[in-house]
Amino acid sequence: MLEEKQIVCSVCQGEFAFSAEEQTLYQEKGFSNPKKCQSCREAAKIKRRNRSKLQVVDSEAPEPTWFNSTCSSCGVATRVPFEPDSQKSIYCRECYRVSI
């Protein structure tokens, strides 16, 4: 039978209890014993989540290359994020809104 262990947190140096039930669960899952107390594990989890959100913002796709064109409907000059070809109709914002 396993007994409760007192472990020193590697972050805050505080002691925390590692119960017999937790030890059994960790063994069943193949986990190593925890090195951080519950508070420090939660803080690390929040930090990882925030970091991943920042990475999403930092890694946004670059601005597309814009191409000048003429609206097929009203003839006004417009810009589109793709290279226009002569076979496709190009619409300015206002004409596009009307067409949908």
Asked if 41 and 82 sit in the same domain, the reply is: no
Q: What is the extent of the structural domain holding 22?
A: 5-58
Domain boundary among 58, 76, 91: 58
> What are the backbone angles phi and psi of residue 8, rounded to the nearest 5°?
-90, 125
What is the distance between the alpha carbons of residues 5 and 25, in angstroms, rounded to a whole number?
14
- pLDDT 10s digits, 38-78: 999 999 888 888 776 655 555 566 777 889 999 999 999 99
Asked if 14 and 39 sit in the same domain, the reply is: yes
SS3 80: strand
Kindly state the DSSP code that residue 53 receives in the 8-state scheme. Answer: H
Answer whether 0.75 is exceeded by the pTM: no
Helix (H) or strand (E) holding 18: strand 15-18
One-letter amino acid for residue 70 of the chain: T
The rounded mean pLDDT for the chain is: 86
